[in-house]
Structure 1
Amino acid sequence: MTETQNEYREESGAGNHYRTAYHQGLEALLARLQKQSDGLRKQLHKMLLERPEAFRRQIRQSLGWPLTEKREDVPTVKREYVASDETTDIYRMQMEIQPGLWMYGILFLRRSEEALPLVISQHGGFGTPELCSSFFDSANYHDMTRRILRRGVHVFCPQLFMWHAELFGNRPYDRRAFDDRLKRVGSSITAIEIDGLQKYLDYFQTAPQIQPDRIGMIGLSYGGFYTMLLTALDTRIRAAMSACFFNTAQAHDEFSDCFWANSQNCFQDAELAALVYPRRLWIDAADGDELFPCNMARAELERLKAIRADGWDGLRFRIFKGVHEFPIDDTGIEYVVQALK
């Protein structure tokens, strides 16, 4: 008789309940840590209110390089003329935000003898500057950029690393997998793009056609996230509108590129929004949003109100009738542009 004939064997699922118990324990552990994070964030609210620049530094540390370094001189910019209409000249722009890394965008420059305000119009997931600017049809932008432009301001539409690869690029990619690789080396895709947007702000503040102290930002979905984050970190943004993003961390769970080292213990959407004070911030949520439910946006609003318990005249929160889309009325756009005039 060989030794293997006496070895113990059992059904493949005999140990499953041990694995289930382990899994349940991990879920319970995470739930405890997440509950603890609520208290840890509250401990930082005093810093947010009394020392906002220190809180901003903490956020930049969480997002990673290059936000942890001082920006140097304005990088090299290339501008290519595209077209003109009755009021506006359109240019494609590229800026070398890091050596060999050219961040792209479209600039709508109104013809005017006087300098005008600038509004950044930020597309969302799978989007492009062309898509949110009605160069061709879109299902949910509703002429966003052109409606901003009609308010008598210049508009800049940056391209983020989130376009639909099959429609708008010839090279497939995975944003979140790329972000994971960046995080291993102390950076993140958000840090790189926020840094790039800030460098564009540096450039526009030197442009004679633009009023350097009158810059706003409006974005949908992911663009609403970037709008809120950039406005929180950079006080040069005088007024902002974030549509269909503001929500609880639970609603953003699947978006790993919206979380960073220790970030949930430091800030979520309410904390970012609170950093915009005392500037103007318009937050839109849709009653039929299939990605970010409006009831969870309301819950995050209550946290924001608790942080800013002394009040905030510049804050507006609205639930509009619609789905995951840019609102079809101009109320939020007007609110931003009024602050720039």
Structure 2
Amino acid sequence: MRARSWIPLVLLLLAWSYFARPVYDFAWVAAGRLRDMAGARIGSPTLRPSREAEVGRSLAQGEEIAGYLRGLRRAAPDALTVAGAPEAAREQLRRSLRYPPPGFDTPSTEAVVETLVGEDEFATYRELKVPVLPGVYATGMYLRPKTADPAQKLPLVISAHGRGGMPSETADGKLPGLRKSRRDLAWDALKHGYAVWLPVYVHYNQDGSDFRDRLTARAWQAGTSLPAIEIAKTVKVLDALLKRPDIDAGRVAMMGHSYGGFYTLYTTALDPRIRVAVVAAYFNDREAVLDGSEPTGFLDWRFPDSLTLWRDPSVAALVAPRPLLIEAGNQDQLFPIAGARKVAPEVERVYERLGVADRFEFREFVARHDFDGEAAMNFIDRHLKPSPRGARE
């Protein structure tokens, strides 16, 4: 009987030891802090530098590292060097972008899903869903001029829109459709008799916030990059579109505005099936743009070697000798015209060295962060020479 009287006490002590563990842990940590404080007050003054001196040492080392990195940028090969060994450079670009992403080369058993959305006086609209990676699809709109003969093989323009701002709704809650505008990358292409692919890129949440940075970090952690995934989507769409009987596989152009300009430049550099490229409101002195938006602006453009090997002129050198038009608004508020003027001559020298100077054009026009579709299509026309039968009168 006497032994049993100790059982409640033992259970109480066990319960107390379990629930009091955080109290014991806190007391242990507090005692350690007091011990550290005492040691700091009575320890040797030899290794007790002032805060100002310690911060000074840190800043000095930071400046040393910054200078070293600037030297690496200056030592990077120029666009002419890249153009001199295009296949080796193209392979290096793939490594820098971590392209292609894992799963890209695995054949998909899924079919392309095509949905007729409708038609109007301008075009027939079809939405396509193309399998790209496990669980990842490229979606967008395939447009064909209403006046074109259904049996005619049309040249194709990939029209890559930029991020801009969140698209504004019309009074009925829908997004505005095709419209004649400097910013519209489909209107002029249809008018000139081209089929058009309008890709969808990742930019926004439903509430309008940009979540590219989150995806960028997750892609790096998984061994690839967000640009690699988005470029892979365009490449897989090309695989599908160029099998269509209504597309002329030998006449493909890509043009893009802002972020679309980035994707146009890099996708064309990697995929020779794109015969002509127009890059608007993107091409610039990328070092100045990224340094001016530090620490995290345009995070997805900060992939390995992006400011050593892959300044914009070096990527453009991998487009050569294919025709390339650079458009830049002389009042661009995001990418100042001075930067474009500084680096465009590097690309011009590449085309001159290859004996195809007439295939490169750097065009300034009076605008801000804009796109001139008519000028873009005139350039594409000169180099793809589409049949006039598909053009609108």
Give the TM-score normalised by structure 1.
0.85
Q: Secondary structure at the residue paired with 2:128?
A: strand
Match of 1:18 among 50, 54, 59: 54
Q: Secondary structure at the residue paired with 2:163?
A: coil
CA contact (8 A) 1:129 1:159 kept: no
Mapping 1:217-236, distance limit 5 Å:
217-236=254-273
Q: Using the alignment, how far apart are the partners of 1:84 and 1:117 within structure 2? A: 20
State the AA in 2 paired with 1:214.
R
State the AA in 1 paired with 2:379.
Y
The residue aligned with 1:247 is: 284
- State the Cα distance separating 1:61 from its structure 2 match: 0.9
- State the Cα distance separating 1:177 from its structure 2 match: 2.2
For structure 2, the 5+ residue unaligned runs are 1-34, 43-49, 170-174, 292-296, 387-393
The residue aligned with 2:183 is: 142
RMSD (Å) for aligned C-alpha atoms: 3.1
Q: Secondary structure at the residue paired with 1:142?
A: coil
Q: Which moved more, 1:305-314 or 1:242-251?
A: 305-314
The residue aligned with 2:158 is: 120
1:56–1:5: structure 2 CA closer, same or farther, 3 Å change rule?
Answer: closer
- State the Cα distance separating 1:259 from its structure 2 match: 2.5
- Residue 326 (structure 2) pairs with residue 293 (structure 1): no
Match of 2:375 among 331, 335, 341: 331
Q: Using the alignment, how far apart are the partners of 1:68 and 1:35 within structure 2? A: 33
1:213–1:17: structure 2 CA closer, same or farther, 3 Å change rule?
Answer: farther
CA contact (8 A) 1:65 1:186 kept: no
The residue aligned with 1:198 is: 235
1:307–1:120: structure 2 CA closer, same or farther, 3 Å change rule?
Answer: same
CA contact (8 A) 2:325 2:379 kept: yes
1:79–1:50: structure 2 CA closer, same or farther, 3 Å change rule?
Answer: same
- Residue 359 (structure 2) pairs with residue 314 (structure 1): yes
- Residue 80 (structure 2) pairs with residue 50 (structure 1): no
Q: Any idea what the Cα deviations from partners look like across 1:125-165, whole Å, max 9, x if unmatched?
A: 1568999xx83599985333112211100000001111464
Moved over 6 A (4+): 127-131, 137-140
Q: Which moved more, 1:273-282 or 1:256-265?
A: 256-265
State the AA in 2 paired with 1:59.
L
For structure 1, the 5+ residue unaligned runs are 9-13
Mapping 1:105-116, distance limit 5 Å:
105-110=140-145, 111-112=148-149, 113-116=151-154
Q: Using the alignment, how far apart are the partners of 2:64 and 2:115 within structure 1? A: 55
Pairs aligned (count)? 327
The residue aligned with 2:313 is: 270
CA contact (8 A) 1:140 1:325 kept: no
1:104–1:127: structure 2 CA closer, same or farther, 3 Å change rule?
Answer: farther
State the AA in 2 paired with 1:322.
A
CA contact (8 A) 1:179 1:188 kept: yes
Match of 1:92 among 110, 124, 127: 127
Q: Using the alignment, how far apart are the partners of 1:264 and 1:257 within structure 2? A: 13
Give the TM-score normalised by structure 2.
0.75
Q: Using the alignment, how far apart are the partners of 1:166 and 1:243 within structure 2? A: 28
The residue aligned with 1:103 is: 138
Q: Using the alignment, how far apart are the partners of 1:147 and 1:139 within structure 2? A: 8
1:164–1:124: structure 2 CA closer, same or farther, 3 Å change rule?
Answer: farther
CA contact (8 A) 1:288 1:294 kept: yes
1:274–1:216: structure 2 CA closer, same or farther, 3 Å change rule?
Answer: same
Q: Secondary structure at the residue paired with 2:77?
A: helix
Q: Any idea what the Cα deviations from partners look like across 1:203-245, whole Å, max 9, x if unmatched?
A: 1110100000101011100100100111111111111111010
1:217–1:129: structure 2 CA closer, same or farther, 3 Å change rule?
Answer: farther
Larger radius of gyration: 2
Q: Using the alignment, how far apart are the partners of 1:30 and 1:116 within structure 2? A: 51
State the AA in 2 paired with 1:39.
A
The residue aligned with 1:34 is: 70
Q: Which moved more, 1:314-323 or 1:72-81?
A: 72-81
State the AA in 1 paired with 2:242.
Q
- State the Cα distance separating 1:31 from its structure 2 match: 3.4
1:15–1:284: structure 2 CA closer, same or farther, 3 Å change rule?
Answer: same
Q: Using the alignment, how far apart are the partners of 1:5 and 1:118 within structure 2? A: 75
Q: Using the alignment, how far apart are the partners of 2:275 and 2:375 within structure 1? A: 17
Q: Using the alignment, how far apart are the partners of 1:285 and 1:87 within structure 2? A: 28
Q: Any idea what the Cα deviations from partners look like across 1:256-289, whole Å, max 9, x if unmatched?
A: 2113123333221001111111111110111111
Q: Using the alignment, how far apart are the partners of 1:320 and 1:162 within structure 2? A: 27
CA contact (8 A) 2:326 2:363 kept: yes
Q: Secondary structure at the residue paired with 1:335?
A: helix
